Amino acid sequence: MKKRSIISVFIAALFAMSFIVSAHDNPTKKDNMPENVKAAINKSCFGCHNSDSKNEDAKKELDFKKLDGLSTIKKIGAYKEIGEAIEEQEMPPKKFLERKPEKKLTDEEKELLINWSKKEAEALVKSK
Ligand code: HEC
């Protein structure tokens, strides 16, 4: 009986540890991206632009999972490009939206993401 409860405590501890490690591993947990920004990116960008994406070109250009770990200079560049790509209607790609019109950003979402990325870039420039 004793032995068993020690084992179950051990297993519970392992569980808790793996949970903490995975939470720490997940960049969306430690960044301070507003929920509405995150939702818009998840809807229209994340599928192509993340480390596990099969779209090699997309993830080479921009990986939202690694964004937080970039150097300040690279992050500033990334935020600027995000804003520009949306402003100039380059992203999400037109061909993709023809197949998946539900992934299109609404005007509000566009504005939200453009303002957010500009603010992030400016804040980083100031912090340097
Ligand atoms: C269907 C896949 C796909 C989706 C969805 C997508 N992208 Fe891209 N993205 C790409 C590809 C492929 C490239 C690289 C080639 C190119 O530039 O066209 C790219 C390049 C980029 C670049 C690099 C600079 C540039 O303009 O080429 C940025 C920034 C970018 N995407 C931002 C975004 C944002 C922000 C969203 C969501 C609003 C988004 N992407 C949605 C596939 C995608």
36-65 per-position pLDDT tens digit: 999 999 999 999 999 999 999 999 999 999
CA of 93 to the centre of ligand 1 (A): 7
| Ligand 1 binding pocket, CB closer than 6 Å | 44-45, 47-49, 55, 57-58, 61-62, 81-82, 85-86, 90-93, 96, 105
pLDDT at 5 over 90: no
**Alpha carbon distance 53, 80 (integer Å):** 22
CA of 83 to the centre of ligand 1 (A): 11
Structure tokens at 38: 């995150």
**Alpha carbon distance 74, 63 (integer Å):** 12
Q: What is the pLDDT of residue 17?
A: 64
